[in-house]
């Protein structure tokens, strides 16, 4: 019985809680090319993410920023709505953890934010 509880707890903790290690690999696959390995960006091309108001501010706004690629109207960054809610949550967890901040956003909230901006034609 105790075993089942342990397995249950493990499954819950790996599915419900954010995973900053996965967030780091999402970062490496999607963000590193512009914001660089150390997140300092490239002068004149991509801003530094260190101490960025978007990252140290609200995690809902950060999710919106990533889903819309910066809220428009000119989008200089890609729109990251192809990332899953889980990957976005883990990415936000990773970015905020690096700033010494925690994250309370969950995948349901990210889904709501996704729906809010879907089809709004920010690119049009």
Q: How many CA atoms lie within 13 A of 69 on its CB side?
A: 17
Rounded (10°) angle between helices 20-30 and 85-97: 100
Binding mask 10-49 for ligand HEC (x = CB under 6 A): --------------------xx-xxx----------xx-x
CA distance 56 to 79: 20
- 79-118 positions binding ligand HEC, by CB under 6 A: 80, 91
Q: Which stretch binds ligand HEC (CB under 6 A): 8-16, 52-60, 101-109, 114-122?
A: 52-60
Shortest Å, Cβ 1 to ligand HEC: 43
**77 contributes a contact to ligand HEC by CB under 6 A:** yes
Residue closer to ligand HEC by CB (options 53, 121) is: 53
Per rule CB under 6 A, is residue 66 in the interface with ligand HEC?
A: yes
DSSP per-residue string spanning 37-105 = TTS--BTTTB---TT-HHHHS-HHHHHHHHHHTSSSSS--S---TTS-HHHHHHHHHHHHHTTT-----
- Taking CB under 6 A as the rule, does residue 50 contact ligand HEC? no
CA 71 vs. chain centroid, Å, equals: 15
**Contacting residues toward ligand HEC, per CB under 6 A:** 30-31, 33-35, 46-47, 49, 52-55, 65-66, 70, 76-78, 80, 91
């Amino acid at each position: 019985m105790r075993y089942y509880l342990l397995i249950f707890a493990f499954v819950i903790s790996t599915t419900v809680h954010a995973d900053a290690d996965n967030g780091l690999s999402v970062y490496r696959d999607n963000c590193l090319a512009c914001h660089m390995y150390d997140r300092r960006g490239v002068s004149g091309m991509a801003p530094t993410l260190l101490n960025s108001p978007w990252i140290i501010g609200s995690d809902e706004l950060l999710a919106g920023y990533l889903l819309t690629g910066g809220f428009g109207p000119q989008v200089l960054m890609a729109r990251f709505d192809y990332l899953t809610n889980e990957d976005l949550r883990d990415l936000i967890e990773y970015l905020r953890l690096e700033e010494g901040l925690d994250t309370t956003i969950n995948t349901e909230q990210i889904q709501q934010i996704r729906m809010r901006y879907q089809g709004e034609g920010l690119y049009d």
